[in-house]
């Protein structure tokens, strides 16, 4: 029997919070060469903005859950959006590289805190419908991510510059900082009906249903049950080893995605011989695949068990990689990039749902701990791929990507929450 759920004003606002975070993340990338030009620095130094962003994710993995536990979710969302505002202002007004890097670092902390708090609130409130809701929420972020470079291009074409393009996000951050915490403090998202969780997690689902009141309370602050289970002086719960297997899959997903995003244009140009402009435009294909995949995946997740979707997502991404990697026409390679994005699209939100299930009562911690794995993947996978490309050529180096995909698929199979067929 399919899971049903109802969206509320709060759920739409939480989707918007994820979208606001995505706008900043995807807008900074195209602006990086322009930042380098304005600050009079090399592209190598400008690449430190990516390092600063990855460092913010590593730090958030340590401080994220304690901050949310101390502030409560409404105030955490407000703090996140205000931190994003300060970070954006520092980046826009930066007179030197150090200030610019600090801006990206603070904005990275803010976006991680905003997304974690929003996703944890949705996961706890919707329970059995969490795979659908998290996929849908990340789909909204994906569409905003796709639109962000286009908006930046429009502002640049109009002669207004990258600063104005980034500055348009600030009123959105401030408006959400006022509206979302109030909505979270007043209302709770209704829970989905419990129908088709696999037997291996049935007890977890029953506990989460029985704790409906603490889950509702969590929208206005930390859940009492979560605080008690953490124990005095303990910063994280005891989780089974399989939780860390899921984190390995998170690392693999981020590494594969960012490896393609950073070096895909180089391989596409080498294999197809297309012009630089066409190659650059084609790199929107995997982002479009993510946006489309999450939009469709949210519907599919109502009828198909999450494990099957995870396996299918990895296999689809592998098929897309083959189409992209093999020397072929520009069009076929671009389609391959789109299919990679389509396959990877559902993996991250569904892995988040699995992490929450493996740490019942600790969704804030489960989601925040995923960020260091994403940060390490962002900081290492493109670097290793680039190093290999210098040694053996970009085509051979790109075989790192299917290795990461195979690692992720293996981790998903090993962490399957129920019997075969679930």
User: Over the stretch 255-312, which tens digit does the pLDDT of each residue have?
Assistant: 998 888 878 888 888 888 877 667 767 777 888 888 888 888 777 877 888 899 999 9
- What pLDDT, in 10s, does the model give residues 213-239? 233 233 333 333 333 333 333 456 677
Is 255 buried (19+), middle (13-18) or exposed (0-12) by CB count in 10 A? Answer: buried
- Which of 122-136, 323-337, 368-382 has the weakest average pLDDT? 122-136
Give the range with max mean pLDDT: 39-53, 76-90, 300-314. Answer: 76-90
Enter the DSSP assignment of 129.
G
Q: How would you label 140-171 residue by residue, b for 16+ Cβ within 10 Å and e otherwise?
A: bbbbbbbbbbebbeebbeeeebbbebbbebbe
SS3 (DSSP) at 73: helix
Distance CA 288, CA 147 (A): 10
CA-wise closest residue to 403 among 337, 325, 341:
325
Q: How confident is the model at residue 43 (pLDDT cuts 50, 70, 90)?
A: low
Asked if pLDDT for residue 145 goes beyond 90, the answer is no
Residues 6+ apart with CB under 8 A from 413: 311
- Residue 213 φ then ψ, to 5°: -65, -45
Any idea which residue has 């007179």 for tokens?
95
CA triple 127-132-137, angle to 5 deg: 100
Provide the H-helix boundaries in 158-240. 161-167, 169-186, 202-210, 212-218, 224-230
Is 42 buried (19+), middle (13-18) or exposed (0-12) by CB count in 10 A? Answer: exposed
């Amino acid at each position: 029997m399919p899971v049903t759920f109802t969206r509320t004003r709060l759920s739409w606002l939480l989707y918007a919070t994820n979208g606001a975070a995505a706008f900043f993340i995807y807008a900074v990338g195209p602006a990086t060469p322009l930042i380098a030009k304005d600050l009079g620095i090399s592209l190598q130094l400008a690449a430190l903005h990516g390092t600063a962003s990855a460092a913010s994710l590593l730090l958030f993995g340590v401080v994220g859950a304690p901050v949310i536990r101390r502030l409560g979710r409404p105030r955490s969302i407000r703090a996140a959006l205000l931190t994003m505002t300060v970070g954006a202002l520092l980046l826009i007004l930066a007179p030197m590289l150090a200030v610019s890097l600090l801006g990206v670092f603070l904005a990275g902390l803010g976006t991680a805190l905003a997304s974690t708090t929003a996703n944890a609130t949705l996961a706890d409130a919707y329970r059995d419908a969490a795979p659908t809701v998290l996929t849908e929420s990340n789909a909204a972020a994906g569409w905003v991510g796709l639109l962000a470079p286009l908006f930046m291009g429009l502002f640049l074409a109009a002669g207004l510059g990258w600063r104005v393009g980034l500055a348009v996000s600030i009123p959105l951050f401030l408006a959400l900082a006022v509206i979302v915490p109030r909505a979270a403090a007043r209302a709770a998202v209704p829970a989905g009906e419990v129908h088709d969780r696999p037997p291996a997690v049935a007890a977890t689902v029953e506990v989460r249903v029985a704790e409906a009141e603490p889950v509702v309370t969590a929208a206005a602050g930390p859940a009492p049950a979560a605080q008690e289970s953490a124990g005095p002086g303990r910063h994280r719960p005891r989780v089974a080893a399989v939780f860390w297997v899921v984190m390995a899959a998170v690392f693999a997903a981020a590494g594969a995605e960012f490896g393609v995003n950073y070096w895909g244009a180089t391989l596409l140009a080498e294999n197809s011989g297309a012009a630089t402009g066409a190659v650059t435009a084609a790199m929107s294909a995997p982002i479009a695949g993510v946006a489309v995949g999450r939009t469709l995946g949210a519907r599919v997740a109502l009828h198909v068990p999450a494990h099957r979707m995870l396996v299918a997502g990895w296999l689809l991404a592998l098929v897309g990689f083959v189409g992209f990697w093999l020397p072929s026409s520009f069009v076929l390679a671009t389609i391959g990039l789109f299919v990679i994005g389509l396959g990877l699209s559902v993996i991250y939100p569904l892995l988040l749902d699995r992490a929450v299930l493996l740490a019942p009562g600790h969704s804030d911690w489960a989601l925040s701990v995923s960020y260091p794995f994403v940060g390490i993947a962002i900081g290492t996978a493109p670097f290793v791929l680039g190093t290999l490309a210098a040694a053996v050529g970009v085509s051979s180096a790109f075989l790192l990507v299917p290795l990461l995909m195979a690692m992720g698929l293996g981790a998903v199979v090993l962490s399957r929450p129920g019997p075969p067929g679930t």
